[in-house]
Structure 1
Amino acid sequence: MAPDQSLKRVGLLGYGRLVGDLLFKRLGGVPTNLPPPGARRRSPDLVVEVAHPQIIHDFGAQILSHADLLVGSPSALADRDTERRLLEASRRSGRSVFVARGALWGSEDITRLDASGGLQSLCITMATHPDGFRLEGPLSKAPREGPRTVLYEGPVRGLCPFAPRNSNTMAAAALAASSLGFDGVVGVLVSDLSLVDRHVIDVELRGPPGPSGQSFCVRTRRENPAEPGAVTGSATLTTFWGSLLACSRRSTPKPGVQLC
Structure 2
Amino acid sequence: MGLGAAASSQWRLDHRPANGRTWLSARSRGRHPDLVVEVAHPKIIQESGAEILRYADLLVGSPSALADQTTEQQLLEASHRWSHAVFVARGALWGTEDITRLDEAGGLQSLRVTMATHPDGFRLEGPLATEHSTRPRTVLYEGPVRGLCPFAPRNSNTMAAAALAAPSLGFDRVIGVLVADFSLKDMHVVDVELSGTPGPTGRSFAVHTHRENPAEPGAVTGSATVTTFWRSLLGCCQLPSKPGIHLC
- Normalising by structure 2, report the TM-score: 0.92
Aligned partner of 2:157 in structure 1 is 168
Equivalent runs, 1:1-260 vs 2, <5 Å: 1=1, 3-5=2-4, 7=5, 12-14=10-12, 34=25, 40-250=29-239, 252-260=240-248
Aligned partners of 2:214 and 2:224 also within 8 Å: yes
> What is the deviation of 1:67?
0.3
Measure the CA separation in 2 of the matches of 1:85 and 1:11: 25
Aligned partners of 1:9 and 1:46 also within 8 Å: no
Measure the CA separation in 1 of the matches of 2:24 and 2:166: 39
Q: List runs of 5+ in structure 2 lacking aligned partners.
A: 15-22
**CA RMSD between the two structures:** 2.0
Measure the CA separation in 1 of the matches of 2:163 and 2:191: 15
> What is the deviation of 1:145?
3.9
Aligned partner of 2:20 in structure 1 is none
Change (3 A) 1:48 1:104: same
Q: List runs of 5+ in structure 1 lacking aligned partners.
A: 17-31
Aligned partners of 1:154 and 1:187 also within 8 Å: yes
Which amino acid is 2:124 matched to?
Answer: L
> What is the deviation of 1:42?
1.5
Name the SS for the 2:108 alignment partner: coil
Aligned partner of 1:24 in structure 2 is none
Measure the CA separation in 1 of the matches of 2:28 and 2:177: 49
Aligned partners of 2:3 and 2:237 also within 8 Å: no
Aligned partners of 1:10 and 1:47 also within 8 Å: no
Measure the CA separation in 1 of the matches of 2:238 and 2:190: 29
Measure the CA separation in 1 of the matches of 2:119 and 2:175: 21
Measure the CA separation in 1 of the matches of 2:9 and 2:242: 19
- Normalising by structure 1, report the TM-score: 0.88
Count of paired positions? 240
Change (3 A) 1:39 1:212: closer
Aligned partners of 1:107 and 1:176 also within 8 Å: yes
Name the SS for the 1:227 alignment partner: coil
Name the SS for the 2:79 alignment partner: helix
Change (3 A) 1:149 1:119: same
Aligned partners of 2:140 and 2:178 also within 8 Å: yes
Name the SS for the 2:141 alignment partner: strand
> What is the deviation of 1:79?
0.1
Change (3 A) 1:118 1:192: same
Query: % of aligned pairs identical?
Result: 69
Name the SS for the 1:157 alignment partner: helix
Which amino acid is 1:69 matched to?
Answer: L
> What is the deviation of 1:9?
5.7
> What is the deviation of 1:211?
1.6
Measure the CA separation in 1 of the matches of 2:125 and 2:108: 32
Using the TM superposition, name which of 117-126 and 208-217 deviates more: 208-217
Measure the CA separation in 2 of the matches of 1:11 and 1:219: 41
